[in-house]
Structure 1
Amino acid sequence: MELNNTKGTWQYNLFTTVKENMAVSRSREEFVKNMNALGYKVKWDDSHKYITFTTPDGHIRRNNKLYPVEDFTKDALQRRFDVNKSNFDKGIKIDSNKNETKDISKLDKEMIFVEKLISEDKGNRAINYITRGDKTSAKLITGINCSPESALNEMMLTKKMFNKNEGRQFIHFVHSFHDHEDISPELAHEISLKLIEQERFKGFEILAATHTDEDHLHTHFILNTVNSETGMKWQQSIKEVKALIEFSNRLCEEYGLKYSYSNKKKKSYNKSETLGERKAKEEGRSWKQELQLAAKSVLKHSTSKEEFIKNMNQLGYAVKWDSTDDRVTFITSNGRPCRNTSLYPPKIFSKDAMEKRFSINKQFENSKQEFRHEVQMQAMQDIILETINKLSHNPSLGNSNYPFSYLEGQALKEKMKEKEKGEGLDWDR
């Protein structure tokens, strides 16, 4: 799950922008023009050894500070431009080296644009951009400690109230998902909002908007740098950035995501792991996701709490459903506890929601039984009508072994019983 402005912040944005443009430019002039179009200034003088880049928000960096250095020297860049021109003349399409880099750069372009607006004190335009109707929708826009409709006014009022109108006004960052991730925009938005539930974001006004206009879903955040409760300015260390990435990875695991981890090292198998646990890891699944799938499947077919618990027990899960506790606790076969509030979506695993589902399942089961009974009765009626029809057209078949003959015999027996009781007497006798 990429936190794109944390992988080097402005330095990383500069690196990816230079790398992308050197991959498609056919001359120094075209390269400088492309960089300028993205808000970057490029000082490339023949009298100077180095090229100097200035970012949209005023940061300065020479080409000898980009890594690997040998790829960004004047000679290396010029050689790349010559290759691009030669390929273009031959009709070979110029493209980035790797699709992954190109995809990242697409998002970086958008980030650079928003950063540029913020650096130019155009917070209103930045907010308008991330909430554009062609990129997101109302249900994918959320205000934290502010209303989405009046977020900018509320943020500016906070600054005025604490007399902190100087310096950086807003912080912008993006939380993105891999394009292979099979999740809905609503779920992506929910996970991104979980990211800012940490204590460090408490009291800050934040506008979040999840974009769906690219293959990879991603959420933009614009944060007011002045805390609405304390008046303190936003600060974040590199250590806190790393902790945020780790928290993002934990969210990936909790929600059963497969591809959106960031800088996560592969772990070797533990000798005590079962074959099922290893398979789950290989397929990107977690024990919590396995529990979630099992509970969801059992919930669909259980008609009572007792039946639900019994079915879960058969799958190897213990269930603690205490009337004195609002929560239900599931325990895996290897002793891992998990509360119903940690399963997704939590609203279908609440006690009330599960009880309602049991009731619906019960009604459905009763309806199925009634339907089967009606089908059986209808089949019998069809047989009777068919028999009557045949006998009416061919009375000679009256002694044949038709169902109607059996029914007539049953009626005769009932009539004889009635006579034994006596005409007009009480049947209860």
Structure 2
Amino acid sequence: MSLLKYINKPYEDKFDLHDQINYCLGKTENAIYDYASFGVNHLNAETICNSMIHTKKLFNKEEGKQFYHFIISIHPKRKILLENKLTYASFILNDVGLKIEKIGFQCLGIIHVGFIENLFNKGIIDYEENVHIHFVVNSVSFIDGHKLVRIYTLLNSIIVFLKSDYPYLNWDSKIYVK
């Protein structure tokens, strides 16, 4: 089942945004397949961070939660070819990123590809691709400076969209909170 997971951490430290973007774009246990940014200068991790920080400074909203982080996972247990999972992930990355930008928030989306190890009888090892998309969303609107406070409303609207436009990926209606 494909799912959406919200990472419910305070992210109030000024360095949390830098750390998260560097983690998502840097070397992790997962290979980076692609990324896209919406409403920010996408030259590199530093310019993405600076674009989001500039928005906070412009509206004098530098305190409190710095960003929101959620992950969309493409059905890891379903036998779909890796190329197809990556194609779906690219479409979802752009569709969701544009929806977030349209409501006035900057975001970065990163497609990661990891592998889930499965052990079968007699020691045979099989791997399933774990294709997932990290979204890092600025907490301050670049349109009018208001803070994003109804994150669950946004996440529920994303699930409704995904179920409507990508029904064959078998979406779970529940938001997983970590």
Computing the radius of gyration from Cα coordinates, the structure with the larger value is 1
Deviations 1:367-387 (A, max 9, x none): xxxxxxxxxxxxxxxxxxxxx
Question: Which structure 1 segments of 5+ residues have no match?
Answer: 11-55, 58-117, 265-429
Q: Separation in 1 of the partners of 2:101 and 2:135?
A: 15
Q: Which amino acid aligns with 2:98?
A: E
Contact kept? 2:97, 2:108, Cα under 8 Å? no
Does the residue aligned with 1:155 lie in a helix, a strand or coil?
helix
1:234 aligns with 2:128: no
> 1:2 is matched with which residue?
3
Residue of structure 2 equivalent to 1:154: 51
Q: 1:207 to 1:196 in 2, by over 3 A?
A: closer
The match for 1:190 among 82, 86, 91 is 91
SS of equivalent residue, structure 1 residue 225: strand
- Corresponding position of 1:141: 35
Q: Which residue of 1 aligns with 2:173?
A: 263
Q: Residue 263 of structure 1: SS of its match in structure 2? A: strand
Matched, 1:223 2:137: yes
CA contact (8 A) 1:225 1:234 kept: yes
CA contact (8 A) 1:188 1:217 kept: yes
* 2:124 alignment counterpart: none
Paired residues of 2:100 and 2:106 also in contact (CA < 8 A): no
Indicate if the aligned counterparts of 2:97 and 2:107 stay in contact, CA closer than 8 A.
no
Q: In the alignment, which residue of structure 2 is the partner of 1:125?
A: 19
Alignment map for 1:363-382 (pairs within 5 Å) = none
Query: How far apart are the structure 2 equivalents of 1:200 and 1:152?
Result: 16
Q: Structure 2 stretches of 5 or more lacking a match?
A: 116-128
CA contact (8 A) 1:130 1:209 kept: yes
Instruction: Give 1:223 deviation, angstroms.
Output: 0.9
Aligned to 1:250: 164
2:37–2:97 Cα contact (<8 Å) kept: no
Structure holding more strand per residue: 2
Shift in Å, 1:145: 0.7
Identical positions, percent = 24
Q: Deviation string for 1:235-281 (max 9, x for gaps)?
A: 2264443332111111213xxx3x441139xxxxxxxxxxxxxxxxx
Corresponding residue of 2:104? 203
Cα contact 1:174–1:219 (8 A) shared by 2: yes
The letter for the 1-side match of 2:75 is: H
Aligned match of 2:65 in 168, 171, 174? 168
Give the paired residue count. 151
Q: Secondary structure at the match of 1:147?
A: coil
Task: Normalising by structure 1, report the TM-score.
Answer: 0.32
Question: Structure 1 stretches (4+) deviating beyond 6 angstroms?
Answer: none
* Cα contact 2:12–2:64 (8 A) shared by 1: no
Asked whether the equivalents of residues 108 and 136 of structure 2 are also in contact (C-alpha less than 8 Å), the reply is: yes
Greater percentage in helix = 1
Q: Which residue of 1 aligns with 2:126?
A: none
CA deviation profile, 1:98-129 (whole Å, cap 9, x unmatched): xxxxxxxxxxxxxxxxxxxx344321111010
Using the TM superposition, give the Cα deviation of residue 136 of structure 1 relative to its aligned residue in structure 2, in angstroms: 4.0
- Checking the alignment, whether the CA contact within 8 Å between 1:162 and 1:231 is kept in structure 2 is yes
Q: 2:151 and 2:23 mapped to 1: Cα distance?
A: 28
* Whole-angstrom distance in 2 between the partners of 1:124 and 1:209: 15
Q: Which has the higher contact order (CA 8 A, sep 6+)?
A: 2
Q: CA separation in 1, counterparts of 2:34 and 2:3?
A: 19
Once the two structures are TM-superposed, the CA of residue 192 in structure 1 deviates from its matched residue by 2.7
TM-score relative to the length of structure 2: 0.72
Q: Deviations over 1:173-215 (max 9, x none)?
A: 1111111233242431222321233377532111110101232
The residue aligned with 2:120 is none
What is the identity, as a one-letter code, of the residue corresponding to 2:93?
A: S
Do the aligned partners of 1:206 and 1:223 also contact (CA within 8 Å) in 2? yes
